[in-house]
Structure 1
Amino acid sequence: MAVDAPPLRWMASLLYGAVLLTGLYFVVAGLAPEASAMSVAGFVAALLALLGVEQLDWRGPSTRRRAIVLLCVRILLLELVNAADPGGFARVLYVLVPFFAYFSLGRKAGLGLASAYLVAAVLRAGSVPDWQTNPEIVSDLLMFAIGLVLTLVTAAVAVEQQRSRIRAEQLVAELRQAQRQVAELSAAGERNRLARDIHDSLGHHLTAISVQLAKAEAFRDLDPAAADRAVSDAHRAAGRALREVRESVGALRAEPFFLATALESLAEGLDDAGFRVTCEIVGTEPFDRPAREALYRVAQEALTNARRHARADRVEVLLRCTDAAAVLEVSDNGRGFAVEAANGSGLPGMRERLAALGGSVRVESAPGTGTRVVAELPRLAVLS
């Protein structure tokens, strides 16, 4: 059988045991004087063999060929049991044949064998004259029919329970697979976020430090004071990098982050005689922290590109917060570039950040015309 429920597993064995005890009782009590020692031994041996078949069935692989062989063995052993039964109660075991067939071969096989056994019982009863008026025969037929119906219903319920359990196990497996996929996607998203943060934050400050140190090296002999100022600026950039690392850690603790303050601090830290940065804030910032951080990273990336690649000496940062949207503009007077040919990681990173919040980033530039970066977050994306 392919059923895991313990009560159904043991049902057939319990019936075999009941019939065995009943038959032995008849022999011991002298209620079956015609029973020979040979027939009693055959009766016991056949029932013990049936018990062994059940043990073999539970522990073996479930194949159709094996199920047919075991069903045929059961039918043969049941015939032997009924032929040698000293008490005449073994006929009740016939209801198990459709029961086993339903489990191992399907509903049609179970119903077919149940019909065949019922027809055989009626034909056997018909061999007795006036059987229709014999209460004992009619009662036996009725009870046998009821037994067949009950075993088929039990088999149907058990099979459906097994199918439901298999479906539930499959669903659990699918849910676990989905959970693993979600976890993998979450981990990938977190890795991408960290990569963007490192690029936008530490990369920006390392660029500033590199520029200041190069400046100090270039002016070391020509203008020691300028070189000293460049070294001081590099120290300040290193300090800002350290503060941003601490702020990133603080973000995990939900410490406050104000965009206007962060932009003004960013502009002040980069502003010097060769790279003028102005910052203007219009309106308040009625949006949540992820939106504020995304806009800040866009400004940071745009300023880094303006200083590192554009050779700009003047940059304007404008943040406008209205009831409809928050718009950040970073414009420089650098040498510009062909936007469609850009292949760095900064622009895709900016777009990913804003797209995740329902916003967008566009870059307006061409060789010799400067660059303008515009980041926009609509009200639905930025409101708390």
Structure 2
Amino acid sequence: MSRPVPWIPAVLYGAVLLGGVYYAAIGPGLGARTAGYAALLCALIALDGRERHEWRGRRIAPGAVFALRVLLLCAVAAVDESGLSRVLFVLVPFLAFFAYGSAVAVGLGVGCVAALAGAFTLWVPHWQVRAEYISDLLMFALGVVLALATAAVAAREQQARARLEGTLAQVAELSAARERNRLAREIHDSLGHHLTAIGIQLEKAEAFTSLDPQGSAQAVSHARWSANRALDEVRASVRTLGPGSESEPVGLSRALTDLVHHLDGGSRRITLEMSGCERRPLLVLYRAAQEGLTNACRHSGATEIGVNIAYDERGARLRVVDNGTGFDPADEGFGLAGLRERVRLAEGTMAVDSSAGGTVLTIGVPW
């Protein structure tokens, strides 16, 4: 686990360094011990910074660095005349928490308190009845507890941040996947339909070039309309990139009328019936009509195709009926699967009834 609060050791080292030098200046005087004291503390500061910035990439064993830090702390305590360096040993359980976990950190914290009590026993006669040493021991124990609590809070904050980053990454990935799916549906439902329409009209134009020049020219005109419409819809999709930002056709009834008018021709006969009052355009019904007409024209061999749209107080209902050969529902392709997803997002209903006598696609969408 990396250390999320790297500034705490540096602050303690600096405070103890200034305090020890000040004590020497106003007391015993500055000398070799003070110089050694300052040099050891500077070495600790350098060790901490080097560990965070350089040694991490060199795969230095954390146990070796930890042991070196403890040895330097002991050396500082040995040359310290002020006694201030005792506070630095609260860093032992604090740093161990991030390197080895909470159990080892608590054990080392107890060990540090016990070591201080043992040192008093060895070098301070009758310290158990001297208030200043009892106070020092209690304050050191309290410092260890606070260091462990700070480490636990910092570790939990780091874990929560990591979980949040992971969640945000998942959300971004899901959003990207949803956007890819949306664009794939747009390409299939819009460009796929228009390319089918263009192919049908060009086939008609080629077949009737010599027999019906006027009909052939009209078919080419309809193909050109489909190409222009496809280009417009591509531009609209680019302008409205983002989930939930799909543009609605300007008037569903008018859009369906144009769709049927430019697709009808040849041996097929497409009829459009509308009833009720349209409240607002519904893109999902327009895409459903495109999908139903594309499937009927491209795959079913239908000669009669009917499109019916009915509006009422609750919403709109679309039916696309053809007399083609039908298909096996188990072979449902990407277009119908994408349409089901559109209908689900619009909180509507969808039913497909297909047999050898034809196919009926029914879509219901609330306002």
**Offset of 1:123 from its aligned partner?**
5.9
Is 1:56 matched up with 2:55? no
Partner of 2:193: 201
Alpha carbons 1:98, 1:111 under 8 Å: kept: no
**Offset of 1:174 from its aligned partner?**
1.7
Is 1:41 matched up with 2:32? yes
Alpha carbons 1:315, 1:330 under 8 Å: kept: yes
- Percent identical: 20
Report the residue type matching 2:27 in the other structure. F
How far apart, in 1, do the equivalents of 2:148 and 2:303 lie?
83
Is 1:351 matched up with 2:340? yes
What do residues 253-296 of structure 1 show as CA deviations (whole Å, max 9, x unaligned)?
85762222222233333445733222111222345x4xx22222
> Which residue among 224, 234, 242 is the counterpart of 1:238?
224
Partner of 2:11: 10
Report the residue type matching 1:279 in the other structure. L
**Offset of 1:148 from its aligned partner?**
0.6
Alpha carbons 1:102, 1:111 under 8 Å: kept: no
Could you say if the C-alpha distance between residues 21 and 297 of structure 1 is closer, same or farther in structure 2, counting changes exceeding 3 Å?
A: closer
Alpha carbons 2:40, 2:75 under 8 Å: kept: no
Give the TM-score taking structure 1 as reference length: 0.75
Partner of 2:243: none
How far apart, in 2, do the equivalents of 1:94 and 1:75 lie?
9
What do residues 93-144 of structure 1 show as CA deviations (whole Å, max 9, x unaligned)?
223224434433612211221133135425644458xx84xxxxx2421441
Q: Residues 164-203 of structure 1: matches in 2 within 5 Å? A: 164-203=156-195
What do residues 277-322 of structure 1 show as CA deviations (whole Å, max 9, x unaligned)?
22111222345x4xx2222222233223333443333222111233
Partner of 2:363: 376
Is 1:300 matched up with 2:290? yes
**Offset of 1:205 from its aligned partner?**
2.2
Could you say if the C-alpha distance between residues 304 and 378 of structure 1 is closer, same or farther in structure 2, counting changes exceeding 3 Å?
A: closer
> Which residue among 268, 273, 276 is the counterpart of 1:275?
268
Which segments of 5 or more consecutive residues in structure 2 lack a partner in the other structure? 56-60, 97-103, 241-246
Partner of 1:258: 251
Alpha carbons 2:346, 2:365 under 8 Å: kept: no
How far apart, in 1, do the equivalents of 2:248 and 2:292 lie?
25
Give the TM-score taking structure 2 as reference length: 0.78
> Which residue among 315, 318, 325 is the counterpart of 2:308?
318
* Helix, strand or coil at the partner of 1:106: helix
Alpha carbons 1:259, 1:293 under 8 Å: kept: yes
* Helix, strand or coil at the partner of 2:208: helix
Which segments of 5 or more consecutive residues in structure 1 lack a partner in the other structure? 30-39, 133-137
Q: Residues 72-111 of structure 1: matches in 2 within 5 Å? A: 72-79=71-78, 81-82=79-80, 85=81, 90-104=82-96, 106-111=105-110
Partner of 1:363: 352
Report the residue type matching 2:361 in the other structure. V
